[in-house]
């Protein structure tokens, strides 16, 4: 079992200890997320989902207003900001102490969320590739930044993704991004291998099988496999039926060194963390 490297990230001036893995609950303020169970459109829906995420034990709320599923609808910057403002205001009113991460690839959206609503982390599926100002903005904001590996864009990523060498390409991608961010003075960088983003079913399982190799970067690792097609296509079920498969993969990810699990089902992930942590504590004797 992979031993957890101690990592601390600075969230709103407090150090968050990632040596015990954290669960990030997904709050979609979108009408078109791939998993219907996670869509929250009305204020009542958002508040219900918010309390569910917090009460089930998530350490971070990841709010997103632009679905990144394959062939997702285009959303304008104004529309994305408007949806996020609604969600962030509700978080402020109902869970003012929550640590919030915003799932966006647009620099001006990230800036608005951090400066107007005190969002603590930016989660960028494009790692700066869809907005040339993102890296400089993150450096200016001085907050933790999650960079994900994606081949292409959400619209094109599943058009027969091909790699000559999956690991070499993903590692090269990250080493180049990390270097650029370090040069700009960004301190807290979190890596997300990007399960399901420009990858075939085989690519996804190959990544999971070698997940511990990401420890080479000496950076925290986020894993997001919740109810994705790598589970439901393999098992020939729907995303609604993919919770058990999600828990299996989350458990494997934890045993291979994941620091953050990004999930729809917080309670199940928190239980997986507790069980794996208990096992690790027992191997320490």
List, by residue number, the catalytic residues.
Answer: 228, 262
Mind giving me the DSSP string for 41-65?
-SHHHHHHHHHHHHHTT-SEEEEES
Strand order across the beta sheet in which 22-28 lies: 189-192, 145-148, 121-124, 100-103, 60-64, 22-28, 260-263, 222-223
202: which DSSP letter? H
State how far the alpha carbon of 276 is from the alpha carbons of 125, 223, 231, 245, 283, in Å: 27, 15, 21, 16, 11
Find how far residue 37's CA is from the centre of its chain. Answer: 18
Q: Which helix (H) or strand (E) holds 123?
A: strand 121-124
Contact 272, 251 (CB under 8 A): yes
The residues that bridge with 147 in the sheet, in sequence order, are 124, 191
**Alpha helices (H) in 151-261, listed in sequence order:** 166-183, 201-209, 229-235, 243-255
Q: Please give the Cα distance from 81 to 87 (Å, whole number).
A: 10
Instruction: Kindly report the number of other CB atoms within 10 A of residue 250's CB atom.
Output: 27
The residues that bridge with 64 in the sheet, in sequence order, are 28, 103
Q: Please give the Cα distance from 85 to 79 (Å, whole number).
A: 10
């Amino acid at each position: 079992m992979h031993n957890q490297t101690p990592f601390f990230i600075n969230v709103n001036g407090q150090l968050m200890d990632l040596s015990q893995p954290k669960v990030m609950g997904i709050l979609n303020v979108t009408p078109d997320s791939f998993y219907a169970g996670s869509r929250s459109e009305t204020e009542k829906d958002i508040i219900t989902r918010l309390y569910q995420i917090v009460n089930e034990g998530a350490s971070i709320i990841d709010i997103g207003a632009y679905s990144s599923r394959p062939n997702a609808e285009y959303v304008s910057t104004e529309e994305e900001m408007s949806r996020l403002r609604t969600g962030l205001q509700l978080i402020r009113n109902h869970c003012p102490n929550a640590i919030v991460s915003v799932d966006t690839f647009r620099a001006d959206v990230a800036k608005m969320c951090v400066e107007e609503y005190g969002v603590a982390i930016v989660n960028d599926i494009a790692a700066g590739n869809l907005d040339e100002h993102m890296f400089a903005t993150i450096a200016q904001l001085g907050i933790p930044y999650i960079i994900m590996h994606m081949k292409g864009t959400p619209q094109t990523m599943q058009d027969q993704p091909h790699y000559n060498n999956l690991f070499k390409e993903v590692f090269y991608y990250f080493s180049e991004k990390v270097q650029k961010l370090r040069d700009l003075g960004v301190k807290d960088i979190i890596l997300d291998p990007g399960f399901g983003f420009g990858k075939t079913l085989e690519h996804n399982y190959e990544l999971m099988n070698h997940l511990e190799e990401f420890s080479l970067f000496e950076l925290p690792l986020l894993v997001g496999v919740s109810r994705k097609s790598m589970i439901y296509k393999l098992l020939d079920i729907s995303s609604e039926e993919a919770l058990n498969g999600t828990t299996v993969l989350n458990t494997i990810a934890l045993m291979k060194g994941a620091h953050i699990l990004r999930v729809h089902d917080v309670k199940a992930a928190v239980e997986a963390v507790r069980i794996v942590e208990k096992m690790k504590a027992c191997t320490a004797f």
